[in-house]
């Protein structure tokens, strides 16, 4: 045997020994592969779509949801409607979750991943979701601990889960399902439509409060503004105060549901308000608003008067009295728009009746805890909706009335309180002369007057006259004066 053949045999022997030694360390309970492959969905989408009930367990508590009349409800709250947003989030996560990694391991190693159902309890981190159809369980998903990230960060890298009917191992999913919870209050919807057709009338009374004056507001259509009924000629409605009533209770929001015992213990009956509402379809509702008792606090100065504290929450109950009412047929000469509105109203009658039946079954007999923001304007007094009507003053004219000029024969009427006297003579009204063409301007030019020089003393050689002065020459154009001889 050559040295090369001997070397090959030694290599084969060493490799065989290593494989044998390693096989001794692998427990017989470790499987080779899991039932689901990487990239496949955790559960079949058809199971999610066809399920009619679901149970969610966390921290040892369970909440049960089921379909009633094609609506998901919460069984712990007497089948009150479930929060569709929260339910859809869970259903979408179950439908879209895929396998990121499969870990082939037997049942006795499940506790290492916090997936052992026998160790569930209040302090256990084990969570589960069970989907059923027709009372038959379709899938049971058990959630274990979160897988830590290998990159050194504090973020998680998915979660370990297993299926109750799959014993091939556990799986890692990228979805952690951290939003699960088993509190029934977290699963019910906290808002629901009540007066969705639009209210056209509100009537508010307070049987237990004699100081409260009943009031009502109304309008013809949902497009109009509310007007306070029973106003005097000097009063008008505060439009900014009644405006919130347009959207009142179109979608009621509440804090939580109360049992009848809890409602009775919290209620302050004296401040109760009873609201009767009529919507545009002719349906009538009665909403009772009872304030929650306010706990009295001891103050350092008990003698100091303080105004009574206003309630911050109310207990609301709802009754569907009747409706809807059949609309009146339009006249023969009605417009096309009015006739179309009548036909649409008739077609909606069936849907409105079904909606009222569901509301009566779902909301009557329950007690809703709501905030003062939900009650809005309905708890105010009547005087808060009234303001003094503005009186329109007549416009003051600044024009002076024309003065009538009396004729020559007219007499001036006496002033009030003044004895009549002899009327003054009539004032003749000047006659208007016809307009003439403007005359030419006449200019007078005066010739300059020549001032004669001062008389000078007569010289000897000159002829002397009288006192020896020389007679001045006559002015131009004058006739010479005759000199009489002496």
- Model pLDDT, residue 482: 52
- Output the DSSP codes for 56-78: EEETTEEEEEEEETTEEEEGGGT
Sign of CA dihedral 298, 299, 301, 307: negative
Residue 42: what are its φ and ψ, rounded to 5°? -65, -45
Say whether pTM exceeds 0.85: no
- Model pLDDT, residue 343: 86
- Model pLDDT, residue 463: 47
In whole angstroms, give the CA distance from residue 280 to residue 352. Answer: 11
Sign of CA dihedral 404, 406, 410, 412: positive
Here the tokens at position 425 are 């003579």
Q: How far is CA 3 from CA 16, 17, 336, in A?
A: 20, 21, 110
64 near 72, Cβ under 8 Å? no
Closest CA to 202 of 66, 36, 377, 353: 377
In whole angstroms, give the CA distance from residue 198 to residue 84. Answer: 24
Closest CA to 278 of 288, 266, 287, 291: 287
The burial class, CB within 10 Å (0-12 / 13-18 / 19+), for 434 is exposed
Closest CA to 39 of 111, 91, 98: 98
190-242, pLDDT tens digit by residue? Answer: 998 888 889 999 999 999 898 899 999 999 989 999 999 999 999 999 999 99
Cβ-proximal residues to 71 (8 Å cutoff; 6+ apart), any chain = 81, 82
- Model pLDDT, residue 231: 93
Residue with tokens 């259509």: 221
Closest CA to 218 of 279, 272, 287, 273: 279
192 near 251, Cβ under 8 Å? yes
Here the tokens at position 427 are 């004032």
| Mean pLDDT, each 10-residue run in order, the chain (486 residues) | 66 62 46 84 93 92 93 95 94 93 89 77 72 94 83 67 91 89 93 89 93 94 93 92 91 92 93 94 94 72 64 94 86 85 84 90 94 90 91 68 61 57 54 58 62 60 49 57 49
Kindly list the domain boundaries of the chain, sorted by start residue.
28-187, 191-294+310-329+336-388
In whole angstroms, give the CA distance from residue 349 to residue 69. Answer: 20
Closest CA to 161 of 242, 335, 42: 42
Cβ-proximal residues to 232 (8 Å cutoff; 6+ apart), any chain = none
200 near 221, Cβ under 8 Å? yes
Closest CA to 129 of 99, 85, 156, 163: 163
């Amino acid at each position: 045997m050559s040295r090369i053949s001997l070397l090959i045999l030694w290599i084969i022997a060493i490799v065989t020994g290593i494989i044998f030694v390693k096989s001794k360390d692998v427990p017989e309970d470790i499987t080779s592969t899991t039932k689901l492959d990487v990239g496949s969905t955790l559960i079949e989408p058809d199971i999610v779509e066809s399920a009619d009930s679901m149970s969610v367990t966390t921290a040892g508590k369970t909440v049960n949801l089921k379909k009633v009349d094609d609506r998901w409800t919460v069984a712990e709250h007497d089948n009150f409607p479930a929060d569709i947003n929260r339910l859809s989030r869970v259903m979408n996560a179950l439908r879209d979750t895929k396998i990121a990694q499969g870990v082939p391991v037997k049942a006795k190693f499940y506790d290492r991943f916090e997936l052992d159902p026998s160790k569930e309890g209040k302090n256990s981190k084990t969570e589960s979701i069970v989907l059923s159809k027709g009372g038959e369980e379709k899938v049971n998903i058990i959630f274990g601990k979160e897988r830590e990230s290998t990159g050194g960060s504090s973020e998680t890298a998915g979660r370990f889960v297993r299926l109750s009917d799959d014993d091939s191992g556990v799986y890692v999913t990228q979805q952690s399902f951290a939003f699960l919870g088993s509190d029934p209050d977290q699963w019910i919807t906290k808002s629901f439509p009540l007066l969705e057709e639009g209210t056209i009338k509100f009537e508010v009374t307070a049987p237990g409060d004699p100081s409260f004056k009943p009031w009502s507001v109304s309008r013809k259509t949902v497009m109009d503004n509310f007007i306070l009924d029973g106003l005097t000629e000097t009063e008008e409605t505060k439009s900014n105060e009644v405006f919130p009533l347009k959207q009142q209770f179109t979608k009621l929001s509440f804090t939580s549901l109360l049992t009848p015992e809890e409602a009775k213990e919290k209620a302050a009956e004296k401040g109760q308000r009873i609201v009767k509402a009529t919507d545009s379809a002719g349906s009538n509702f009665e909403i009772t608003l009872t304030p929650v008792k306010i706990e009295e606090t001891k103050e350092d100065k008990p003698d100091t008067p303080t105004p009574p504290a206003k309630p911050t929450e109310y207990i609301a109950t709802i009754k569907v009295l009747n409706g809807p009412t059949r609309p009146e047929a339009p006249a023969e000469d009605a417009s096309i728009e009015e006739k179309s509105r009548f036909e649409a109203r008739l077609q909606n009658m069936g849907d409105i009746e079904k909606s009222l039946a569901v509301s009566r079954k779902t909301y009557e007999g329950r007690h809703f805890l709501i905030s003062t923001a939900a009650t809005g304007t309905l708890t105010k007094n009547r005087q808060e909706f009234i303001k003094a009507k503005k009186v329109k003053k007549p416009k003051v004219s600044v024009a002076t009335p024309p003065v009538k000029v009396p004729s020559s024969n007219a007499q001036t009427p006496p002033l009030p309180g003044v004895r009549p006297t002899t009327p003054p003579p009539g004032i003749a009204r000047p006659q208007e002369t016809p307009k003439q063409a403007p005359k030419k301007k006449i200019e007078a030019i005066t010739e300059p007057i020549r001032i004669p020089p001062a008389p000078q003393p007569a010289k000897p050689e000159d002829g002397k006259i009288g006192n020896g002065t020389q007679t001045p020459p006559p002015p131009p154009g004058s006739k010479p004066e005759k000199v009489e001889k002496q």
